[in-house]
């Protein structure tokens, strides 16, 4: 299995588990790790590798502690100030995740702070361990939320709660995040990966072409007017309606048997 | 400093703006709105050192909305006129304020008063406080930004319900819906707001102001536009003295001392 810089990828039955892998620093994000993520995306997007669902998780106790401040001084001297790595690394990764050809689950196994919280929210479905928490850490060092935080948070939990999280910078425990509708499931820590893999396998066996189109519709929805979204639903349904999975789905329904979707 | 219908005090970097016409539940007619705008002049003047603004009401109510009794005096202006002359400039200035805003909703917040309560970045309500979309009771539509703020705060279904039915929304339910941030015992809203405000005023207020701006703008932007705005804003925050102090404090494992610069 491919092993990238500070990122590990394991594939099984159409599911790619992408693991942020620098547990000594709670998987704090370095340029090395971001390049590992880009290489992992290259692998996942290559259709010949047969990936139909992605699980993003962290190695060890944390999910991701956000930007690696320890490594900052050397990095910024090269790249010119806070924020430059957003344009060079984070934003391309976020765009590729948004446009990915298959669903993404995040299995949030521990702390998800700063940009690590942003990454955790990129899952179409977000599953967390009971001991996990979310932290808008930016204000602690005089920065503003980034890596898409200010777009995703108000849309997930409303403006009042988004403001509170970012302005006060207090920990949001997994259970409360679930109550707020920020995430979808909370499991016992020991069960999290099994449950995430089970759900991922279920999605990977689904009509993944349609599932990818669905996630795209929801990504685009908040940017569209009602009329535009009706138009987009129409155009997208034409694509889904021309898929082999649609033919199989209808046939299986009429024959009263489970459908065998291929993602085509 | 005391205006006719508004009090303003600044202490330890926290400015407290009190709507002060308790006999009419702090209904906001033109005289009060004039006073609020004058108070904002003081708050926006950096020389006065406000790093967080608290808005609250005197007496038992926060603000009961438009002052219907004020309308009769002199020549009646067309309904909605005061939106363009007073409310909208006020909302714009609150949106672009240089520091965070905390509202201490000590009692009823109705009509335009509900909208004003929701302009707080952090909204703290007393247990017996309630929110009321009173407009439909007199055959008007929600204004003062209500129809922009509400669906973004709690979703379209709940916004529609509040405005169409015009029923009271108690503080506890507003909290459960995610419309507001805290509920405290009656009489304690201002104290709790001051606690939060002091914490914010001692924080990296330049970054805090930038992030409230990011959230205000977020709902108007597509994902790509917002990423671009985050990038440009982070460059500004990253050039601040507070960022240097924040990183230094982190590496030295000590609490940061932010100056707001």
* Burial of B106 per CB tally in 10 Å (0-12, 13-18, 19+): buried
Mean pLDDT of chain B: 95
**B145-175: per-residue pLDDT in tens?**
999 999 999 999 999 999 999 999 999 999 9
Q: Where are the domains of chain A?
A: 3-204, 208-254
- Identify from A167, A170, A178 which residue to disrupt to test chain B contact, counting B C-beta atoms within 10 A and taking the largest count: A167
User: What percent of chain B has a predicted confidence (pLDDT) above 70?
Assistant: 97
The residue of chain A nearest to residue B215, with distances taken between CA atoms, is A150
Please give the Cα distance from B14 to A240 (Å, whole number). Answer: 56
With beta carbons less than 8 A apart as the criterion, state whether B246 and B210 touch: no
Sort out which chain A residues have CB atoms less than 8 A from B152's CB and list them.
154, 158-159
Convert the pLDDT of each residue in B212-226 to its tens digit. 999 999 999 999 999
Q: Retrieve residue A82's tokens.
A: 């806070």
- Inter-chain residue contact A139 with B154, CB threshold 8 Å: no
In chain B, where the domains are located:
6-201, 205-251
For residues A144 and B43, give the distance between their C-alpha atoms in angstroms, rounded to a whole number. Answer: 23
pLDDT (tens digit, 9 = 90+) per residue, B171-210? 999 999 999 999 999 999 999 999 999 999 999 999 999 9
Scanning A23-98, the segments in alpha helix (DSSP H) are 31-45, 72-79, 84-85, 91-98
- Quick one: pLDDT at residue A75? 44
Tokens 């499931």, residue?
A185
Tokens of B205: 């207020």
Taking the Cβ of residue A161 and every Cβ of chain B, the question of whether any pair is shorter than 8 Å is answered with yes
pLDDT at A78: 45
Closest CA to B186 of B204, B198, B171: B171
The reply to whether A177 touches chain B by the CB within 8 Å rule is: no
Task: Judge whether A131 is closer than 8 Å to chain B, CB to CB.
Answer: no
Contact status of A146 with chain B (Cβ, < 8 Å)? yes
pLDDT of residue B251: 92
Q: Nearest C-alpha of chain A: how many angstroms from B72? A: 37
Which pLDDT score, from 0 to 100, does residue A73 have? 47
Identical fold, B6-201 and B205-251: no
Supply B21's token pair: 């016409």
| Residue B136: Cβ-neighbour burial (10 angstroms; 0-12, 13-18, 19+) | middle
CA geometry: angle B255, B260, B261, nearest 5 deg: 110
Chain B residues closer than 8 Å to A143 by CB: 207, 234, 237-238, 243, 246
Q: What is the edge-to-edge ordering of all strands in the sheet holding A133-135?
A: A112-113, A133-135, A172-173
Q: Percentage helix, strand, coil, to 5, in chain A?
A: 55, 15, 30
Judge contact between A229 and A245, C-beta under 8 A: no
pLDDT value for B79: 75
- Using DSSP's 3-state secondary structure scheme, residue B101 falls into strand
* Contact (CB, 8 A) for B114 and B154: no
Chain B residues touching residue A161 (CB < 8 angstroms)? 178, 181
Q: Is the distance from CB of A36 to CB of A27 less than 8 angstroms?
A: no
CB A133 within 8 A of CB A173: yes
- pLDDT on residue B34: 96
Could you report the predicted ipTM of this complex, rounded to two decimals? 0.89
**Angle in degrees, 0-180, between the axes of helices A159-168 and B146-154, rounded to the nearest 10:** 70
Active-site residue set of B: 88, 143
Q: What is the pLDDT of residue B71?
A: 58
Question: Residue A18 contacts by C-beta under 8 Å, 6 or more apart in sequence?
Answer: A7, A8, A9, A37, A40, A44, A54, A55, A56, A57
In the numeric block, the tokens 């507070």 are attached to B242
CATH of domain B6-201: 3.90.226.10
Tokens of B191: 């104290």
pLDDT of A4: 86
Exposure pattern of A146-171 as b/e (b: 16+ CB <10 Å)?
A: bbbbbbbbbbbbbbbbbbbbbbbbee
A-interface mutation test, from B178, B182, B196, B224, most A Cβ less than 10 A away: B178
Please state which CATH class domain A3-204 belongs to.
Answer: alpha beta
- Cβ atoms of B39 and B2 within 8 Å: the answer is no
Tokens 């050039």 map to which residue? B239
pLDDT at position B68: 77
CA-to-CA distance for A204 and A199, rounded, in angstroms? 9
How confident is the model over B30-46, as a mean pLDDT?
Answer: 96
CA–CA dist A178, A130 (Å, integer) = 10
Taking CA atoms, what residue in A is nearest to B214? A150
pLDDT at B75 over 80: no
What is the predicted pLDDT for the residue at A3?
Answer: 72
CA terminus-to-terminus distance, chain A: 25
pLDDT by residue, tens only, chain A of 264 residues: 667 889 999 999 999 999 999 999 999 999 999 999 999 999 999 999 999 999 999 999 999 999 988 765 444 444 456 788 999 999 999 999 999 999 999 999 999 999 999 999 999 999 999 999 999 999 999 999 999 999 999 999 999 999 999 999 999 999 999 999 999 999 999 999 999 999 999 999 999 999 999 999 999 999 999 999 999 999 999 999 999 999 999 999 999 999 999 999
Q: Which residues in chain B touch residue A84, judged by CB atoms under 8 angstroms apart?
A: 235
Which chain B residues are closer than 8 Å to A158 by Cβ?
A: 152-155, 178-179
For B223, the closest of A69, A83, A223 (CB atoms) is: A223
**Given A98, A144, A166, which is nearest B234 (Cβ)?**
A144
The correct CATH number of B205-251 out of 1.10.760, 3.90.1690, 1.10.3470, 1.10.12 is: 1.10.12
Q: Which residues of B touch A95 (CB under 8 A)?
A: 224
Helix (H) or strand (E) holding A57, with range, is: strand A53-58
Chain B CB within 8 Å of residue A91 CB: yes
Is residue B218 within 8 angstroms of chain A, CB to CB? Answer: yes
For the domain made up of A208-254, give the CATH fold.
Answer: Lyase 2-enoyl-coa Hydratase; Chain  A, domain 2 (1.10.12)
Partner residue facing B237 (CB), from A143, A158, A162:
A143
CA A157/CA A163 separation, integer angstroms: 10
Task: Give the per-residue pLDDT at B168.
Answer: 97
Tell me if A136 sits within 8 A of A117, measured CB to CB.
yes
State the nearest Cα–Cα gap between B69 and chain A, in angstroms. 33
- Burial class of residue B252 (count of CB atoms within 10 Å of its CB; 0-12, 13-18, 19+): exposed
Tell me if B261 sits within 8 A of B241, measured CB to CB: yes
The DSSP annotation for B166-197 comes to: ---EEHHHHHHTTSSSEEE-TT-HHHHHHHHH
Size of chain A, expressed as the number of residues it contains = 264
């Amino acid at each position: 299995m491919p092993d990238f810089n500070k990122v590990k990828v394991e594939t099984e039955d159409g599911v790619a588990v992408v693991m942020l892998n620098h547990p000594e620093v709670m998987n704090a994000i370095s340029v090395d790790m971001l390049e590992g993520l880009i290489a992992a995306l290259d692998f996942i997007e290559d259709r010949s590798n047969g990936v139909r669902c992605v699980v993003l998780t962290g190695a060890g106790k944390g999910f991701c502690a956000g930007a690696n401040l320890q490594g900052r001084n050397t990095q910024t001297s090269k790249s010119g100030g806070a924020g430059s790595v957003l344009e060079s690394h984070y934003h391309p990764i976020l765009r590729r995740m948004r446009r990915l050809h298959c669903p993404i689950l995040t299995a949030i196994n521990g702390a998800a702070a700063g940009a690590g919280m942003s990454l955790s929210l990129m899952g179409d479905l977000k599953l967390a361990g009971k001991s996990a928490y979310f932290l808008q850490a930016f204000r602690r060092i005089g920065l503003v939320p980034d890596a898409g935080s200010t777009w995703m948070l108000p849309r997930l939990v409303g403006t009042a709660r988004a403001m509170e999280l970012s302005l006060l910078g207090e920990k949001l425990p997994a259970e409360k995040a679930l109550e707020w509708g920020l995430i979808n499931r909370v499991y016992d820590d020991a069960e999290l990966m099994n449950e995430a893999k089970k759900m991922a396998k279920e999605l990977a066996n689904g009509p993944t072409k349609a599932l990818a189109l669905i996630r795209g519709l929801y990504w685009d929805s908040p940017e569209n007017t009602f009329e535009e979204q009706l138009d987009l639903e129409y155009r997208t349904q034409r694509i889904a309606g021309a898929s082999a999975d649609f033919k199989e789905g209808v046939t299986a329904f009429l024959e009263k048997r489970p459908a065998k979707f291929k993602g085509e | 400093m005391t205006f006719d219908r508004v009090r303003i005090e600044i202490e330890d970097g926290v400015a407290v703006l009190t709507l002060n016409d308790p006999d009419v539940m702090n209904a906001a007619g033109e005289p009060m709105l004039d006073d609020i705008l004058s108070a904002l002049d003081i708050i926006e003047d950096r020389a006065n050192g406000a790093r967080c603004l608290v808005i609250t009401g005197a007496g038992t109510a926060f603000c009961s909305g438009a002052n219907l009794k004020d309308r009769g005096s002199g020549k009646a202006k067309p309904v909605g006129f005061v939106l363009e002359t007073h409310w909208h400039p006020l909302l714009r200035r609150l949106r672009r304020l240089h520091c965070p805003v905390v509202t201490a909703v000590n009692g009823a917040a109705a009509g335009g008063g509900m909208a004003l309560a929701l302009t707080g970045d952090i909204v703290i309500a007393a247990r017996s406080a309630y929110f009321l979309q009173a407009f439909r009771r007199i055959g008007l539509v929600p204004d003062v930004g209500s129809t922009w703020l509400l669906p973004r705060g709690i979703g379209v279904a709940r916004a529609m319900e509040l405005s169409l039915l015009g029923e009271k929304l108690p503080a506890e339910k507003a909290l459960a819906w995610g419309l507001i941030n805290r509920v405290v015992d009656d009489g304690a809203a201002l104290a709790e707001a001051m606690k939060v405000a002091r914490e914010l005023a001692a924080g990296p207020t330049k970054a805090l102001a930038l992030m409230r701006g990011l959230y205000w703008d977020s709902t108007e932007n597509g994902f790509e536009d917002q990423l671009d705005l985050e990038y440009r804003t982070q460059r500004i925050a990253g050039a601040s003295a507070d960022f240097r102090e924040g990183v230094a404090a982190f590496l030295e494992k000590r609490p940061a001392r932010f100056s707001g610069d």
